[in-house]
Chain A
Amino acid sequence: MPRVKLRLALGLAVLGVLAAAALAAPLAQQWLGHDPFAPDLFRRFEPPSPEHPLGTDDLGRDLLLRLLHGARVSLTVGVAAALAATLLGTAAGLFAAWRGGMADAVLMRIADGLLALPALPLLVVLAAVDPARIGLPRGEAATDILRIVVILALFGWVGVARLARAAALSVLAQDYVRAARALGAGEARVLLRHVLPNILGPVTVATALAVAGAILAESTLSFLGLGIQPPAPSWGNMLANAQEMVFSAPLAAVWPGLAILLAVAGCTLVADGVRGRG
């Protein structure tokens, strides 16, 4: 039992530190006194120094500040996509379990089909869609974030839906649900007041795993040049940039990857902890 708590505590601590770092980005910027978006071509590839704790990149921008600003973007995308996937997935799972029959079969076949396919090639195809052709402004950071969140949620709901459906099926068979119905509770009340609160455990686990998956997927898409577009920093596009300077600044490739690793591991630990895995 203490090990379960250890996992949860460790995961929450890691995520807390990352969230604090993301929130502290403007403070750090003020303190160090650099603009992480303004190129300074006289200070390219500087090694770590008190002035630039992690050094500078190929345009002379401070790597630590870009890393902190990248945390804001990457964590926002990860959490927003996971919440959207949770909402969609919980609704789909609840509906499938409650309705049963044809609706259940169709929804679950769609989920099986999506799970059977290789996700990344599909994400690449979806991410290549030109936002201008569906009436969105192109090239703005906010559009970019929204675009990636929608794409990731389109895939992320499946995992949540399966867990939510399985949990809802077992809750719907409980006596207190029959009792509530016998007392005249409407179906909406049964689902929202009696079923939903009792499937929150599995849904929380699915959400934590969805955050991990979304952070990984966003970083991969941004690394491939299909996600968050520079100059806005995300951990993924910082790594794409670092790949071009492996000879001049190999350390630049270490930090963003480590940040992704910590964020994903933090979410996995939280999911394990909530699930009660030893």
Chain B
Amino acid sequence: MPRLIAARLVQIAITLAVLSFCAYGLIGLMPGDPIDLAIASDPRLSAEDAARLRALHGLDRPLLARYGAWVGMVLSGEFGFSRLFAQPAAAVLWPALGSTLVLLGAALALAAAIGIGLGALAALRPRAAPTVDAVAVLGQSAPSFWLGMLLIILFAVRLGWLPAGGAPEDGAGLGEALRFLVLPVATLAIANLAAYARHSAAALEAALREPWIRSARARGAPERVVLWRHALPNAAVPILTIAALDAGALVSGALVTETVFARPGMGKLIYDAVMGNDYNLALLALLLAALVTMLATLAVDLAQRALDPRLRDA
């Protein structure tokens, strides 16, 4: 187990190193580096001035040297400055991460609960299966930003029950914060529950065919007990596989949802930073999102091993 965790952490570190180098290189190909912006804002700036500024900020050094310097800074805990927010990058990143984790946690819990419920319905009632299947195919096919817009039109514009987006003011109570959370969580949950419904239906159907289910029924166990006590624990491992595979989709969904609802968080931060030419912040936020995704996947893998002893030797 410790060896497995160590190996996976090394793999994550390698992925982050490759990703950061590629993203760092790509940023050089994006519009509006600081010197371009300085030239645009001051037409008196001559070509010599621009070259001098470039040398002053080290922008004339080769890519590898600049990347090495940046990595050294980040590893020593110095995250630099966000131009867009006019704050140290760390002061922007951590609150955004917290906000996104709340959104992801709530959406994941809701998606898994409804998805597994639908899956159980399909597995137990064969006549309901085609309906559940159709709901799952449609849910998987709907673009999440569109779902978000429809929810805004219905619940914010037409009915006026919930805010269309944004964040509660500082010092607002928990109730107010929850009101702002309802529509984004619903959007992200609807977009992700289809995968849970499809796979838990398949996993439960397989588990219900096992001989111990027949024994449980023969002993007179009620269907409720058969499903929750005997079938579900055995279906949990394949269902958790979906959770691991879906971690990336969930983080991607957070970017869309936060942008549609103008809700501050990691996803919106990446988007705003890229659009606002704040490339230091964009790079840090991208790496942080990747790190969170990979750590979540690792956590699910470990949970699977805890649940199923057969996986532990692998």
User: Which residues on A are within 8 Å of B, measured CB to CB?
Assistant: 113, 115-122, 124-126, 128-130, 132-134, 212, 216, 219-220, 223-225, 236, 239, 242-243, 246-247, 250, 253-254, 256-257, 260-262, 264-265, 268-269, 272
Contact = CB atoms under 8 A, between A and B. Distances in A.
B271 interface: yes
Given A223-B256, A224-B271, 12 more contacts: A116-B293, A117-B15, A117-B248, A117-B290, A118-B248, A118-B252, A118-B255, A121-B285, A216-B141, A254-B150, A257-B150, A265-B140
A116 B297 contact: yes
Q: Is the interface of A mostly helix, strand, loop or mixed?
A: helix
Contacts of A130: 29-31
B296 to A, nearest CB: 10
B188 interface: no
- Of A124, A224, A225, chain B has the most CB atoms within 10 Å of the CB of A124
Interface string B137-152: 1101111111001101
A257 B146 contact: yes
B149 A121 contact: no
B138 A265 contact: yes
Interface in B123-142: 137-138, 140-142
Nearest to B202: A277
A236 B249 CA distance: 19
A268 B30 contact: no
A69 to B, nearest CB: 19
A152 to B, nearest CB: 14
Closest 8 CB pairs of A and B: A120-B252, A257-B146, A118-B251, A264-B141, A265-B141, A130-B31, A118-B248, A129-B29
B270 interface: yes
Contacts of B18: 113
B153 A265 contact: no
Contacts of A262: 141
A112 to B, nearest CB: 8
A118 B290 contact: yes
Contact of A119 (B15, B149, B248, B294): B248
A116 B248 contact: yes
B75 to A, nearest CB: 20
B26 interface: yes
B23 interface: yes
B274 A125 contact: yes
Given A113-B15, A128-B30, A129-B26, A122 B286 contact: yes
A257 B255 contact: no
B267 interface: yes
Contacts of A133: 28-31
Interface in B248-290: 248-249, 251-253, 255-256, 259-260, 267, 270-271, 274-275, 282, 285-286, 289-290
Contacts of B144: 220
Given A257-B142, A257-B143, A265 B255 contact: no
A242 B157 CA distance: 14
A208 to B, nearest CB: 12
Nearest to B19: A117
B256 A220 contact: yes
A261 B26 CA distance: 32
A124 B255 contact: yes
* Contact count band on B: 35 or more
B152 to A, nearest CB: 6
A9 B191 CA distance: 25
A242 B149 contact: yes
Nearest to A212: B141
Interface string B22-37: 0100101111000000
A73 to B, nearest CB: 16
Contact of B252 (A115, A119, A246, A250): A119
A268 B297 contact: no
18 contacts: A113-B14, A116-B15, A116-B294, A118-B248, A118-B289, A118-B290, A120-B252, A124-B255, A124-B271, A134-B29, A216-B141, A224-B256, A239-B143, A239-B145, A254-B150, A256-B146, A257-B150, A262-B141
A116 to B, nearest CB: 5
A240 to B, nearest CB: 9
A242 B18 CA distance: 38
Given A116-B293, A118-B252, A250-B157, A125 B26 contact: yes
Contacts of B142: 257, 260-261, 264
A239 B153 CA distance: 13
B23 A125 contact: yes
A128 B274 contact: yes
A268 B141 contact: yes
Chain B CB within 10 A, most for which of A119, A120, A246, A250: A120
A80 to B, nearest CB: 19
B248 A260 contact: no
A261 B286 contact: no
Contacts of B29: 129-130, 133-134
A116 B246 CA distance: 9
